Amino acid sequence: MGNEHSEITRWHARIGHQSHRILEEINKSLRLHMDTNLLKCKPDCMTCADAKATRSPISKVADSQYKAIDMPDVMHGDLVGPVTIRTSIEKDGKKIKCKINCPTFDGFLHALIMTEEFTHCVFVVLLKTKDEATDAVMKIIRNVQNKTGRKVLRFQTDGAGELSKTQRLIQHFDVNM
């Protein structure tokens, strides 16, 4: 029984600490043959306990005037990349630390990640350069507005600057920053 319980704990961590209902579905679909009675018992997971202990509802933290009350009131965006790995190479008998770009097979190095606040719907667009971000943001906003028939009222970024050109152009849609 101890080995089966550790196997359940291992799979719980592998799937990103999802609920036991999800673990039961994966057990069935992947034919893992884990004991279904053990799956119903919640193992003590410190990662899940820590994550749940620090959460607080947005309504108690943020001013309600900034909270989305309907789709697509507020969208959040961030640009990730370039994706690199750090390694050491040997040159002239010395080890030199360097970063190496890790593009996808199609040459994408960046990712634009946008989230619609009310539904938590996530949009991910792979980009070859950061310059493509503005067009991608505009395309997503246009698409969301066309599908919902409603305007995006506010677009929120982390303020790091990679979407600053986008912030200037987005005012064309009457979207607050």
Q: Within this chain, do residues 73 and 18 fall inside the same structural domain, yes or no?
A: no
CA distances to 44, 127, 139 from 124, rounded to whole Å, are 33, 10, 12
Kindly state whether residue 95 falls inside one of the protein's structural domains: no
Kindly state whether residue 18 falls inside one of the protein's structural domains: yes
Q: Within this chain, do residues 151 and 72 fall inside the same structural domain, yes or no?
A: yes
pLDDT digits (tens, 9 = 90+) for 152-172: 888 888 877 777 666 666 665
Question: In the chain, which ranges are continuous DSSP H helix?
Answer: 2-14, 20-29, 36-40, 46-53, 58-61, 133-148, 164-169
pTM: 0.57
pLDDT digits (tens, 9 = 90+) for 113-167: 999 988 889 999 999 999 899 889 989 998 998 998 998 888 888 877 777 666 6
Q: Within this chain, do residues 32 and 13 fall inside the same structural domain, yes or no?
A: yes
CA atoms of 56 and 53, how far apart (whole Å): 8
CA atoms of 113 and 110, how far apart (whole Å): 10
Residue 147 belongs to domain spanning: 64-81+107-173
**Which residue's structure tokens are 């965006």?**
77
Kindly state whether residue 102 falls inside one of the protein's structural domains: no
